[in-house]
Amino acid sequence: MWRTLRILVSVVFFALITFYFLDFAGISGVRSFLPRVQFIPALMAVSGGILVFWIVLTFLLGRVYCSSVCPLGIFQDGIIWVSKRWNKKKKYGYRPARNVVRWLVVGGIGIAFLFGFTFVLSLFDPYSAYGRMATDIFRPLYLVGNNGLAWLFTKFGNYTFYYVHVTILSTFAFLIALLTLGGVGILAWRSGRTYCNTICPVGTVLGFLSKYSLFKLRIDTAKCNGCGLCALKCKSSCIDSKKHRIDYSRCVDCFDCIGNCRQRAIAFSPLKKGKPVENVVKVTDESKRRFLVTAFATALVVPKAMAQEKVGAFVRHKAYKREYPISPPGAVSTEHLLKHCTACHLCIAKCPSHVLKPAFMEYGLGGMMQPKMYFDDGFCNFDCTVCSEVCPNGAILPLTKEKKHVTQVGRVVFLVENCIVNTDETSCGACSEHCPTQAVTMVPYKNGLTIPQVNPEICVGCGGCEYVCPVRPFRAIHIEGNPVQVEARRFKETEKKEVQIDDFGF
């Protein structure tokens, strides 16, 4: 029963969240609770309710998050399922826990995070890692599939499917996603939930809580004949059948063992059965304790000022042309983004204007793969607030349309020496045409021509001008990023005057 429920929930959850990442047509809607209930996003967004829910649930039932909700966990279960069908004789077996490695990873991520290297947390957070796999690998494939259908249908004059632009947005992010897919995939194929029980920081923390959970998989020693079948089938390698012991810090509540036990000796229950055999690994791991104490002490004594200084230094890292990268509207500042974003790439997947892509070094080492705006394939739609609505981490804070209209992510810079009106003395005005606030206006030039004039104060930094400027190789107009987003001065509304015309004029 438990196992069926777990499979049902996990399949539905996985299918929904994967489709949510892939869907470009808005079928799954803009907002979704699916990423918001994930552990690290809830932690980053300081969503107290969700965190309390997971902690309470883990104290109650153990690591159900890992088997039913975590997309990377369910993804691994998928691989494991295939691997078992590939090799019918696949066997697992008990392995001792690598607790030092586990806590080293948690400590390392924590310290790196405090020093502004959110990148390390981004790498290991299972939700974000899966988000990147979905956005940077599965999504392009999904789009290619769609384009195949579009080609076929369009050929017959049916436009139900339309072509979409397919691109690998960032080689670096793609490679990281590929490495995650390969690494986690191979580990899962060969030895089950190794990632979750050796590396995953969420697994380690929830595993620690699970040791004290009320409901546990318990071996009834009166019934158990020590055949070891449960251990052979345990993808977490956490059942020591000889000693009738289960390491609950690694048990992900998959409930496979229950059905595999021919003696019906395993049950998910709050009560122990049979003669009192110690189920919980009680051996105190001294080295782990020492490590934890030192790690947290170090973390606490690191002065905040020092951390911020470091962040500042990384953010000021010069990019190619732009002095500052342009963060998505609602990100508050590059520093806020750096501290909250774990690069799940949901905003990138959902941006309808193709204006967000993963950064490389623009935000510095600590902010690698976080979203930045770029204007090669599009520009930020004036009325659109999608990225701010979907962000589960609170890295991009929700904006209303009105607030978005005055959120200045960057400011326009015009290079008259590159402008076609100046160099070729022909009409253009493409930049002004796209400008929603008329921060770029066309003013009289020579021979009845008009040339752009910029007013950075009212510019919001949408990049319409930069995107559309036809001059190559160097555009005549671009956006310089604001390290701290500010409120743009509202453009002056001219008074609405109704004009009365009585004649045709010709």
Which residues lie near another protein (CB under 8 A)?
26, 151, 154, 157, 159, 162-165, 352-353, 378, 381-384, 420, 424, 426-430, 432-438, 441-442, 448, 450, 468, 470-471, 491, 493-499, 501, 503-506
CB of residue 496 vs another protein: minimum separation in angstroms?
A: 4
Q: Indicate the residue among 63 and 434 with the shorter CB distance to another protein.
A: 434
**Using an 8 Å Cβ cutoff, are 334 and 315 in contact?**
yes
The DSSP annotation for 175-215 comes to HHHHHHHHHHHHHHHHHSSHIIIII-HHHHHHHHHHTT-SS
CB of residue 174 vs another protein: minimum separation in angstroms?
A: 22
Q: Indicate the residue among 242 and 401 with the shorter CB distance to another protein.
A: 401
Q: Indicate the residue among 147 and 263 with the shorter CB distance to another protein.
A: 147
Rounded to 10°, the helix 48-61/201-210 angle is: 50
Token look-up 């918001």 returns 36
CB of residue 137 vs another protein: minimum separation in angstroms?
A: 22
Q: Indicate the residue among 126 and 329 with the shorter CB distance to another protein.
A: 329
Q: Indicate the residue among 23 and 285 with the shorter CB distance to another protein.
A: 23
**Using an 8 Å Cβ cutoff, are 57 and 65 in contact?**
yes
CA–CA gap between residue 264 and residue 248 (Å, rounded): 19
Token look-up 């929700």 returns 398
Q: Is the dihedral of CA 235, 241, 247, 248 positive or negative?
A: positive
Phi–psi pair at 371, nearest 5 degrees? -75, 140
Q: Indicate the residue among 63 and 350 with the shorter CB distance to another protein.
A: 350
CA–CA gap between residue 188 and residue 81 (Å, rounded): 10
CB of residue 460 vs another protein: minimum separation in angstroms?
A: 12
- Structure token pair of residue 27: 């079928």
CB of residue 19 vs another protein: minimum separation in angstroms?
A: 18
Q: 3-class DSSP state for residue 314?
A: helix
CB of residue 355 vs another protein: minimum separation in angstroms?
A: 10
CB of residue 313 vs another protein: minimum separation in angstroms?
A: 37
Q: Indicate the residue among 320 and 504 with the shorter CB distance to another protein.
A: 504
Q: Indicate the residue among 7 and 349 with the shorter CB distance to another protein.
A: 349
Strands 216-219 and 266-269: antiparallel
Q: Give residues with Cβ within 8 angstroms of 37, minimum separation 6.
A: 50, 69
Triad 176, 47, 61: Cα angle to 5°: 85
CB of residue 162 vs another protein: minimum separation in angstroms?
A: 4
- Structure token pair of residue 265: 């000796």
Q: Indicate the residue among 190 and 401 with the shorter CB distance to another protein.
A: 401
Strand partners, 356: 373
CA–CA gap between residue 45 and residue 391 (Å, rounded): 9
Strand partners, 322: none
CB of residue 448 vs another protein: minimum separation in angstroms?
A: 5
**Using an 8 Å Cβ cutoff, are 105 and 124 in contact?**
yes
